[in-house]
Amino acid sequence: MDKDLARIFPLQAVEDDCILSRQGDITVAFQVQLPEIFSLSGQQYEILHQAWVRAIRAVPCPGVLHKQDWFTQRNIRGDFSHDDAGLLASGSERYFHERPWLDHECLILLTRKPNSRKPSSSGATGLIRSSVVPWDLLDDKGIKEFLDSAGQFRQILEDSGLVKLVRLKNGDLLSSPGKSGWIERYCFLTEDPANPLIRDINLEKELHIGDQQVQIFTLSDPPSLPALCGPRLDYEKYSTEQSRFSIGFVSGLGMLLPCNHIYNQFLFMEEPGRIIRGLERKGRRLHSLAAYSRENASSGEAVRDFLDEAVRNQQQPVRAHFNIMVWAENREQLGEIRKRVMAALAGLHTDIKQESVGAPQLFWAALPGNAGDFPMNESFITFAGPAISLLGMESKSRSSEGSFGIRLGDRLSGKPLLVDISDEPLKRGICSNRNKFILGPSGSGKSFFTNHLVRSYHEQGAHIVLVDTGHSYQGLCELVNGYYFTYDDLHPIRFNPFFRIPGEPPDTEKRESLKALLLALWKKEDEGFNRAEYILLSDALQSYDRFILAHPDVFPGFNSFYEFLGGEFARGMGSGQPRSRDADLDSLLYVLRPYYGEGEFGFLLNATENLDLLDQSFIVFELDQIKDHPILFPVVTIIIMEVFISKMRRLKGKRKMILIEEAWKAIAREGMAEYIRYLFKTVRKYFGEAVVVTQEVEDILDSPVVKQAILNNSDCRILLDQSKYLNRFDQIQQLLGLTEHEKSLVLSLNRANDPGYLYREVFISLGGVHSRVYRTEVSPEEYLTYTTEEREKIRVQEATEQYGGDRQKAIAVLARKMRMGDQAGQEQRK
């Protein structure tokens, strides 16, 4: 069939952001942002379905709603343009480079046909006519009414809050140098619009576009369609006995069909009375022929039932057609794709028809703007509700809009996404603070996620303070050259809260922090202090500030403060300054003596290194060995809290995060609950966030601190694998205020992981409004940095010693060996 494409090409022009066909049809196009797959609840599917039902009533008659979903296989391209990228960032880019994923783009094209235009058929389409002559054209009033209807259609869908539509302009529809427009993209199946490629179109015998072989599968035979349709169905892979996981009814033909394909969905709007009159004539004809065939009688009853339903429930009858167009470079690949399509349709309990003779007409009719030339003999009559159930409702997972966030993986493919769980939720009004509560049992991947979280924030300029009880962050801290405070008999934990940079003027907030520390050292937890004692400490610290400024050769520290307190300050009090019997300086000196010089705890407050805690951006306090110490632990926790509060108040414009691992239980027990409450309530005012991590359900249920302070002031809830709590998850759901949809998301974690990759999944809820599941998948470099496995930590430490203490080089070498081992294993499996 040799045809001059210029003579039969059905589009006349693209003007004023509209497509005008040569038969007088006018089309407006929208690019659609659909909800992310696995993000909607069953109720939200119902809401979206009803929005579509209302929206299509705005499509004028005679008209066509053509929804075209493009699913294109792509490979991730790592960004290696940054020469200053660190070991972990470059390792992540290398790890995900060339990872396949499925892209999705969605168009909605609304077409208004002239009133007098006759319906097309397979034997009378513009593809096989020698010329195309318009029947008539819409006048200016008709065009305005159509555009108003299109605007109403858009508004109804967007009012659902689940869909966004953007009107396509001339430049989007037409091509320009170096960029394919949507019309050209369809004609040549251009997968990347930035790399346009003109291909031959061969419609004889088999459909070919360049070197791509094309096949079309249709859902247009009513007996083969699903017996029951609905907005959603259960996804068994992610469902449990306690929860049902919802996906769109035809998700299997969309994001869950991993191949290049276009899913075309057509709804043809005609006057309802015209469709009903045609069915009544058909029903009478079948009734008159019922005596000759039982099939005629059965069909006649079906027509009567349809008409009764239309009248009784005021259902809107429409004509519909659905087809899937796939392409590949050879028959073998097409055979594999056909199996996938058949399997997807088997999940809908429907049959499929592979088009051969009719494929060219269907391909031609799906050209953007040419839906009016669709062969109507390929459509079927149904109600709007069931037809809309066959529309694709979901899209790919998307990154956050800003430039800040944590890098997590798309649940389907692992494609890296930038997920903002701090700033964007505040801007959108779905959260009122940045605080986070993380719950994950041992072995759920909690340490990997928290390491990944703090590393991501630190790389983007945040100051991190970590309180840990299990050495989970030692590797990361050493890699970023942070301060790591821990305790053992040979290397006791050391601080110097009295230190200040030489020449730095006195700081009122620092003085108040020291005052709180000295009071904690002086008085027991249940022992109060009087006004005179408070003034004594204020005078002592103020005098010490002046003393340090006047004596630059004196090293600021507890030792020099203690000597000043018992010497010059005491002599000053004895030479005319009023003494108060309520403020006993001798008692203070006696109580503080163990922290001075060679005293029992003389090491604690006299550090000579790691002194600049204010400007150090990564600090880890590891408290495992002292969490039960009656003296050291309370003092250390006060220092930690005061360090972060000092950062919070003094580092203007810098992001801050304090993350408290299991140590929060000990901190709360030691009377530090008020500090935690204060942090969680006020940190948001200082561009900061507080994060608490726990692994036991009982910790949540039994602690009033968690319930009242942490949970009530943490709008971001992060949960890892809860399968061990499957039979008691109702308690967690009630305590955390999770919806049924969020429950189904949590219980779906790690239920159907891709066996080709090693990762764990994480659930994130933002204000109970935005809930998603992502992969925590990391590169070998990140794995070796984050791991808490003793064997792996020993390997890293031995390699570090082998390379002269260069931890980065050690990790790089070990990661290279891991990648070589993975590649060898893949080749062996092949």
Q: How far apart are the first and last CA of the chain?
A: 44
- Are residues 596 and 562 in contact, defined by beta-carbon separation less than 8 angstroms? yes
**Burial label, 767 (beta-carbon count in 10 A; 0-12, 13-18, 19+):** middle
Cis omega (within 30 of 0) on the bond before 578? no
Beta-carbon contacts of 782 under 8 Å, excluding residues fewer than 6 positions away, are: 88, 91, 92, 452, 455
Distances in whole angstroms, Cα of residue 8 to Cα of each of 11, 61, 370, 637: 9, 26, 12, 80
Which letter does DSSP use for residue 104 in this model?
E
> pLDDT per residue over 761-795, tens digit each?
999 999 999 999 999 999 999 999 999 888 999 99
Rounded Cα distance, 153 and 58, in Å:
6
| Helical ranges in 498-530 per DSSP H | 508-522
C-beta atoms surrounding 416 within 10 Å: 21
Angle between helices 508-522 and 531-550 (to 10 degrees): 130
**225: closest CA among 358, 382, 335?**
382
**Could you report the per-residue pLDDT of 317-337, keeping only the tens digit for each?**
888 999 999 999 888 899 899
How do the residues of the chain divide into helix, strand and coil, expressed in percent and rounded to 5?
A: 45, 20, 40
- Write the burial class of residue 210 (CB in 10 Å: 0-12 exposed, 13-18 middle, 19+ buried): middle
Name residue 416's beta-bridge partners.
409
CA–CA–CA angle 413, 419, 422 (5° rounding): 160
Q: Check residue 24 and give its pLDDT.
A: 86
pLDDT band at 116 (very low <50, low <70, confident <90, very high): confident
Dist. CA 163–CA 156, nearest whole Å: 10
The 3-state DSSP class for residue 33 equals strand
Short-list 206, 216, 199, CA closest to 261: 216
| Beta strands, E only, 469-523 | 483-485
797: number of Cβ within 10 Å: 15
Retrieve residue 742's tokens: 């969020």
Higher model confidence: residue 546 or residue 51? 51
Q: What are the beta bridge partners of residue 30?
A: 108, 167
Determine contact, residues 688/657, Cβ cutoff 8 Å: yes
Neighbours of 779 (CB within 10 A): 21
CA nearest to 133, candidates 123, 146, 144, 118: 118
Report pLDDT digits (tens) over 349-379: 777 788 888 888 999 999 999 999 899 888 8
**Beta-bridge mates of residue 232:** 248
- Contact of 499 with 611, CB cutoff 8 Å: yes
Q: Tell which residue, 501, 500, 471, 499, has the closest CA to residue 484.
A: 471
H-helix or E-strand spanning residue 13: strand 11-15
Residue whose structure tokens are 């993986």: 409
For residue 648, give every residue at least 6 positions away whose Cβ sits within 8 Å of its Cβ, in sequence order, or none.
656, 682, 683, 686, 688
Arithmetic mean of pLDDT, 789-804? 91
- The band of 827, judged by pLDDT with boundaries at 50, 70 and 90, is very low
Please choose, from the candidates 475, 519, 491, 217, the residue with its C-alpha nearest in 3D space to the C-alpha of residue 348.
217
Strand partners, 384: none
Contact 565/596 with Cβ under 8 angstroms?
no
CA distance 513 to 70: 60
Enumerate the H helices of 12-86 as residue ranges.
42-56
The stretch 561-588 carries a mean pLDDT of: 75
Look at residues 350, 369, 362 and name the one whose alpha carbon lies nearest to residue 326: 362
762 touches 753 (CB < 8 A): no
- What is the per-residue pLDDT for 308? 63
Over residues 492-514, the pLDDT tens digits come to 888 888 887 766 676 777 788 78
pTM of the model: 0.89
Q: How many helices (H) and strands (E) does the chain have?
A: 29, 26
Residue 509's pLDDT is what? 73
Please state, in angstroms and rounded to a whole number, the distance separating the CA atoms of residues 132 and 115. Answer: 17
Provide the pLDDT for residue 629: 83
pLDDT single digits (tens) 672-718: 677 778 888 899 999 999 999 988 777 766 777 766 778 888 999 99
Residue 748 pLDDT greater than 80, yes or no: yes
- With tokens 């060219």, the residue in question is 360
Percent of the chain residues past pLDDT 90, beyond the cut: 47
What does the chain come to in residues?
830
Strand (E) or helix (H) holding 276: helix 272-288
Give the single-character DSSP code of 686: G
pLDDT in tens, 625-666: 888 888 888 888 888 888 898 888 889 999 999 998 876 666
Confidence band (pLDDT; 50, 70, 90) for 297?
low
237 close to 411: Cβ distance less than 8 angstroms:
no
DSSP 153-171: HHHHHHTTTS-EEEE--HH
Give 119's DSSP letter.
P
Please state the φ and ψ torsions of residue 597, each to the nearest 5 degrees. Answer: 55, -120
Cβ within 8 Å of residue 516, ≥6 positions away? 638, 642
Residue-wise DSSP of 376-438: GGG-EEEEHHHHHHTS---B-----SSS-SEEEE-TTT--EEEE-SSSHHHHHTS-S---EEE
- Amino acid (one-letter) located at 680: F
Q: What is the three-class DSSP state of 31?
A: strand
CA 432 to CA 425: how far, in whole Å?
8
User: What is the average pLDDT score of the chain?
Assistant: 86
In the DSSP assignment, the letter for residue 176 is B
Q: Please tell me the least confidently modeled range out of 29-43, 155-169, 228-242, 269-283.
A: 269-283
HSE-up of residue 518 (Cα within 13 Å, Cβ side): 27
Model confidence over 404-415: pLDDT tens digits?
999 999 999 999
Residue 34 three-state SS: coil
| Pairwise CA distance, residues 318 & 275, whole Å | 8
User: Can you tell me the distance from the alpha carbon of 472 to that of 448, in angstroms, rounded to the nearest whole number?
Assistant: 9
Report which of 105, 26, 140 is spatially closest to residue 371, judged by C-alpha positions.
26
Q: How many CA atoms lie within 13 A of 781 on its CB side?
A: 20
Segment 13-25 shows an average pLDDT of 91
Domain ranges, ordered by start, for the chain:
5-76+98-272+317-389, 436-491+610-778, 495-608
Band of residue 829 on the pLDDT scale cut at 50, 70, 90:
very low
**May I ask the CATH class of domain 436-491+610-778?**
alpha beta
User: What is the SS3 assignment for 340?
Assistant: helix
pLDDT digits (tens, 9 = 90+) for 31-49: 999 999 999 999 999 999 9
Confidence check: pLDDT of 578 > 60: no
pLDDT in the model for residue 712: 85
Write down the pLDDT at residue 825: 45
In this prediction, residue 288 has a pLDDT band, given cuts at 50, 70 and 90, of low
Rg over CA atoms, the chain? 35
Q: Say how far apart CA 262 and CA 82 lie, in whole Å.
A: 36
Angle between helices 807-829 and 790-802 (to 10 degrees): 120
* Average pLDDT value for residue range 544-560: 89
Partners of 164 in the beta sheet?
A: 33
